[in-house]
A and B are shown apart, each in its own frame.
Chain A
Amino acid sequence: MKTAIVSFFLLTNLIAYDKGDTINDSIASHLGCNDDKVYIIDFFASWCGSCKKELPLISVANTKIDSSKVEIIGVDVDKDVNAGIKFQNDLKNSNKLNFRVINDPQNLIISEFAPIGMPTLYYVKNKKVISIVTGAVDNIDEKIIDDLKAME
């Protein structure tokens, strides 16, 4: 009985993607990351200050990567879609956002990944999580380039 109660509490908190996990088929097709390219999935929101700081740097990294081998996908988790789209448009207009963004107002995608903080980057290849970068990182553009080089 004690084991069952402990397991119940543990299971409700431990369902999250970790390094080496394979992502759900429906989520992969929703994100459009089914092939053998390396996909960098960036979870962000308009209310997240660190995400706002990182997005222009990730866009810089996007200009330096080989788009035939790597694609960056943003996932905006704003529950208010209009606020999210306005935030994205403001960034796009000032050339600070240059990659594909998927809006996730129902939080279906991020609930599946369940990162421990925001912003979080997931490196995915063949639907498998190969690396995770959580939290704000200084010079994230350089880190992405270095990570990709290490993966070659």
Chain B
Amino acid sequence: MKINITMTLCALFLFTGCVKDVKPWEKGTLAKKSMKESGTNPLAKKYEEHIYYSKEASRGGNGVAGGGCGCN
């Protein structure tokens, strides 16, 4: 029992880094253009979407709103 508790505590302290959330002021890297699905070239995404919409005969339903600053 004692060993189990010690091992659980050790695991908690060792693996806390794995569950650390990104704070609102640490989202500078996430807000970069290179972090977007289409990378630094927004035309590439539009081109892919154009093909997808024409093949599927539907549009929309992808992406989320927001500027990546974690404010809304």
Binding site for B on A (CB under 8 A): 1, 5, 8, 12-13, 43, 45, 47-51, 77-80, 107, 110-111, 114-119, 134-136
B28/A118 in contact, CB under 8 A? no
Closest 8 CB pairs of A and B: A49-B67, A48-B69, A47-B31, A117-B71, A135-B71, A77-B25, A47-B28, A110-B25
Our pick among B5, B21, B32, B70 for the contact of A118 (Cβ within 8 Å) is B70
Interface residues of B, count at CB 8 A: 18
Q: How many A-B contacts if CB must be within 8 Å?
A: 59
17 more A-B contacts (CB under 8 A) besides A48-B69, A50-B69, A118-B27? A1-B5, A8-B12, A45-B25, A47-B27, A47-B31, A47-B68, A48-B31, A49-B68, A50-B67, A78-B28, A116-B24, A117-B70, A118-B24, A118-B25, A118-B69, A118-B70, A119-B69
B71/A47 in contact, CB under 8 A? no
- The verdict on B16 contacting chain A, using a C-beta distance below 8 Å, is yes
Binding site for A on B (CB under 8 A): 5, 12, 16, 21, 23-28, 31-32, 67-72
| Listed A/B pairs (28) with beta-carbon separation below 8 Å | A43-B25, A45-B25, A45-B28, A45-B69, A47-B27, A47-B31, A47-B69, A48-B31, A48-B69, A48-B71, A49-B67, A50-B69, A50-B72, A51-B69, A77-B25, A79-B28, A80-B28, A110-B25, A111-B23, A115-B24, A117-B24, A117-B70, A117-B71, A118-B27, A118-B70, A134-B71, A135-B71, A136-B71
Residues of A near B5 (CB, < 8 A) are 1
